[in-house]
Chain A
């Protein structure tokens, strides 16, 4: 099933010609309207005019999350704000948050690309889609919503949370397709069991999952427990949100919407291309974005190309489901969390370099983040009430900064091992 067959099955030579044309177009635009790119291009003496082939992409500068933060909020926008019709943002306060914008055309393209993903997974205009991603600054909810409407399906914009109500609505409204994180799908299966609801009695047929890493074992479990076909899709707000790539019904890798995104898989250390099929960091250049185009964005997501043609007939290259990160970012309940955010909060509270450890676990298909904090004199109280109020204050600050609830465990001084690398401060016990 295709949403735009002629595009999704475009012969590679034609696709590459289109990509080059769109790349040059994008470079010409950002090179004039975005100071960040104008400056780096002129420093590197590169520009749209000097790009003759797609291989020339490698001469272009990278864009990192830090660049996005440095240009908070609107520094990287390529069009005037009056032409921006939508803003999305990552969680975090100033200095940590990233802000992205969309023009009217961007929203149209975005909706269309998400419709492709939905259609590729088997969803049609006859389906009833329950979107259990959060609606708000996070791109997941609205991204899938607009795509599902574009497809012509019926949308239940239930948003995240309240699992029992999700299941009640799924039953009453005869939901046929579920959109959420894979771990939440398993959580729903657990709650259905508690509620005495047999998933086989529901109308559910499809599950479109994303926003967090998962595994083939989880897919098998979701398929079996919910009696559905679970498919993976991928996106990130810095690029667009959902709709960057998604699985077709072969369920064997995610087709990248290559007419809108140019991808590279690079060695995260030397930033050279890895051998085809080897694992590396996914780097994406947008080809049609108007409000927020990015050149060679380092996603920090690790994947590998699946270069063999797909039996489904799409010519778009497939990437393996995300295999990890090349930085220390954690994805907890579908929310991106950087240890540095937690460190900054603790530093603010303690007034000194905090010693902490992050423990990530998955209990009953739900992620749990525990922050272990060494108690120094400045945060130690002789009255239990004050010590507990202090813990609650940390929890509240973390929840509002990170967008997820955390547990706080106070430990004695000098009991956490001292490490140099930040990655060592995280113990991820999740088995996917």
Chain B
């Protein structure tokens, strides 16, 4: 049920994001989803890619600090209120979201929500109990 995500530490310097995406492109690594959290000084780039280990290695070799984390991918119908129902279910169960981001899968008409929770196991239980669809890493990349 868990999806692997890589995170990259970035100083707020111009061109760093361009550099990372170029490195991934050169190595035939496809980015399925990404998000950036930033402060005035630095940012944290999070990526879901088709080949996690390869992406991690090439970025490390290029000198970046790369971390690997597990996240959850929840598939919802791409229509009004899709995200709200998921968040309501989590809120009712008292589960806090550490961070989240989303992307829309145009062909399937669905949206995919990427979540990181402090209590991943509890979140999985709650989401499954409430009938949400959790995607595996392969499924996310196959979209």
Contacts and interface: CB of A to CB of B under 8 A. Distances in A.
Interface stretch (A254-262, A336-344, A375-383): A375-383
A382 B65 contact: no
B44 interface: yes
A414 interface: yes
B125 interface: no
Contacts of A377: 65-67
Interface string A387-424: 11000000000000000000001111111000000000
Given A375-B65, A410-B9, A382 B46 contact: yes
A380 B9 contact: yes
A411 B11 contact: yes
A411 B42 CA distance: 8
A385 B67 CA distance: 15
Given A377-B67, A413-B64, A382 B11 contact: no
B64 A412 contact: yes
By size class, the interface of chain A is 10 to 19
Nearest to A415: B11
21 contacts: A375-B65, A376-B65, A377-B66, A380-B7, A380-B9, A382-B7, A382-B67, A382-B69, A382-B99, A383-B37, A383-B44, A383-B99, A384-B39, A384-B44, A384-B99, A410-B9, A410-B41, A412-B10, A412-B63, A412-B65, A414-B63
Interface residues of B, number: 20
A388 B39 contact: yes
A377 B64 CA distance: 9
Given A380-B67, A383-B98, A413-B63, 6 more contacts: A382-B5, A382-B67, A384-B39, A409-B41, A410-B41, A412-B11
B9 A375 contact: yes
A106 B65 CA distance: 55
A387 B9 CA distance: 10
A8 to B, nearest CB: 54
A385 B39 CA distance: 11
Interface string B1-41: 00001010111000000000000000000000000010101
Contacts of A384: 37, 39, 44, 99
Interface of A: 375-377, 380-385, 387-388, 409-415
A381 B116 contact: no
A410 B98 contact: no
B109 to A, nearest CB: 29
Given A409-B41, A411-B11, A415-B11, A383 B116 contact: yes
Contacts of A385: 98
A380 B60 CA distance: 13
A413 B9 CA distance: 9
Interface in B55-82: 63-67, 69
Contacts of A414: 63
A412 B5 CA distance: 20
Contacts of B44: 381-384, 387
Nearest to A382: B7
Nearest to B45: A382
B7 A410 contact: no
Contacts of B39: 384, 388
Contacts of A381: 7, 44, 67
Contacts of A412: 9-11, 63-65
Shortest beta-carbon contacts, A-B, top 9: A382-B7, A384-B37, A382-B69, A375-B9, A383-B98, A413-B65, A375-B65, A380-B65, A414-B63
Contacts of B67: 377, 380-382
B7 to A, nearest CB: 4
B21 to A, nearest CB: 16
A115 to B, nearest CB: 50
Contacts of A382: 5, 7, 44, 46, 67, 69, 99, 116
A349 to B, nearest CB: 15
A95 B72 CA distance: 47
A381 B99 CA distance: 12
Contacts of B69: 382
Contacts of A388: 39
B112 to A, nearest CB: 18
Interface in B108-143: 116
